[in-house]
Amino acid sequence: MNSATADRLPLAALLALALAGFVTILTEALPAGLLPQMSAGLGVSEALAGQLVTIYALGSLLAAIPLIAMTQGIRRRPLLLAAIAGFAIANTVTTFSTSYSLTMVARFLAGVAAGLLWALLAGYAARMVPEHLKGRAIAIAMVGTPLALSLGVPAGTFLGTLAGWRVCFGIMSLLALLLIVWVRVKVPDFAGQTMGKRLSLGLVFTLPGIRPVLFVVLAFVLAHNILYTYITAFLADAGMSERTDLVLLVFGITALSGIWVIGVLIDRHLRTLTLVSTVLFALAALVLGIAGDIPVAVYSAVGAWGLAFGGAATLFQTALAKTAGDASDVAQSMLVTAWNLAIAGGGLVGAVLLDRYGSVSFSPALLILLIATLLVAGAARSHGFPASQH
């Protein structure tokens, strides 16, 4: 392999993985933007329609680890295609279903497909390139996530309001079918692990560096979700409820910038970027606590938070992929579980804090979590978040 070839990224294959991530996030988040239409269409309350998001997360949470553990020996591309086919089937059923129960089953299936896909994605991207490009490859494969959140969900909500929610899920099915063809043509296949090389879940969990990375994922993402889930309540208390859309737009734009910065620098500065992102998020939480009623301070803090969070998934997945080596897919399934626990935990912890102490309690809670994140990431100098490789 000459140096020109060694430095060339397989863009067509990596962008197929990015589209898979885009479909996953959009399938998960679309009901949140279309709750009134979906509750009317299925003849249930908005609270019950909201459970279409919950059951999807539950599917991911329950499926990721057992599915990856059971499929270690299976070739990777057929497994990836099976996950994408799960989205095509689930979104087609959602498009045509008039039964709330059937739609809930379809959403659970979509969540299972998501759990499998997320566990495969980072390891797949990393296997396509040499060691010195792994971080950049994972960053490209992950770009579908912030794009789905910042552009896809608002566009889907707009289209759903205009043409009906069923049209949105129909388009998602077609996207999944297109993606199946793209993956089949452009994404290389890799062998599963032979019986002798397979590591048990317990053994992977005890590998040096795995537990610090998983703790960082749990604490950092929990902090994010406490604030993100209840940002509307926080802004209402700050007298900025009518500016929620603008605040979320600022977050979305800076999150996209964050993933670009991380993508450029990650292969040489993984440790530094992780520490800087955590400090930046902590400073944002501090500003929101001290000056949360001053609009310019809120916009600045939300911008810093978006910048810090945008590349977080890429940082954590790259750290885990490099730490786990051949056991990457099993380790990534643990990350998927930790991430979904943090999403659920953010909703629960945020609700308790809001109910008992009001939104002023968010800032101290976030700071406690982020200081713990900083200490653990800082201590994981040898394994997990090692010093930069030049």
Q: What is the DSSP string of 194-227?
A: -GGG---HHHHHTSTTHHHHHHHHHHHHHHHHHH
Structural domains of the chain, ranges and CATH numbers in brackets: 3-197 (1.20.1250.20), 201-379 (1.20.1250.20)
At position 186, the amino acid (one-letter code) is K
Q: How far is CA 376 from CA 285, 292, 306, in A?
A: 19, 28, 22
Q: How far apart are alpha carbons 174 and 180 in whole angstroms?
A: 10
Nearest Cα neighbor of 206 from 217, 214, 198 is 214
Are 84 and 117 within 8 A, CB to CB?
yes
- State residue 4's pLDDT score: 47
- State residue 305's pLDDT score: 96
- State residue 368's pLDDT score: 98
- State residue 194's pLDDT score: 59
- State residue 2's pLDDT score: 46
- State residue 224's pLDDT score: 94
Q: What is the pTM of this model?
A: 0.82
Residue-level pLDDT, tens digit, the chain, 390 residues: 444 445 688 999 999 999 999 999 889 888 877 878 888 999 988 778 878 888 898 898 888 889 888 888 889 899 999 999 999 999 999 999 999 999 999 999 999 999 999 888 888 998 899 888 888 888 888 888 777 877 777 788 788 888 889 999 999 999 999 999 999 999 999 887 655 566 677 788 888 889 999 999 999 999 998 898 788 788 888 888 788 778 888 888 898 889 889 888 888 899 999 999 999 999 999 999 999 889 999 999 999 999 999 889 889 988 998 898 878 888 888 998 898 888 878 878 888 898 899 889 999 999 999 999 999 999 998 888 987 654
Q: How far apart are alpha carbons 203 and 130 in whole angstroms?
A: 26
SS3 289: helix
As a whole number of Å, the end-to-end CA separation of the chain is 21
- State residue 175's pLDDT score: 95
- Listed in sequence order, the residues at least 6 apart from 370 whose beta carbon sits closer than 8 Å to its beta carbon are 219, 220, 223, 278, 281, 282, 285
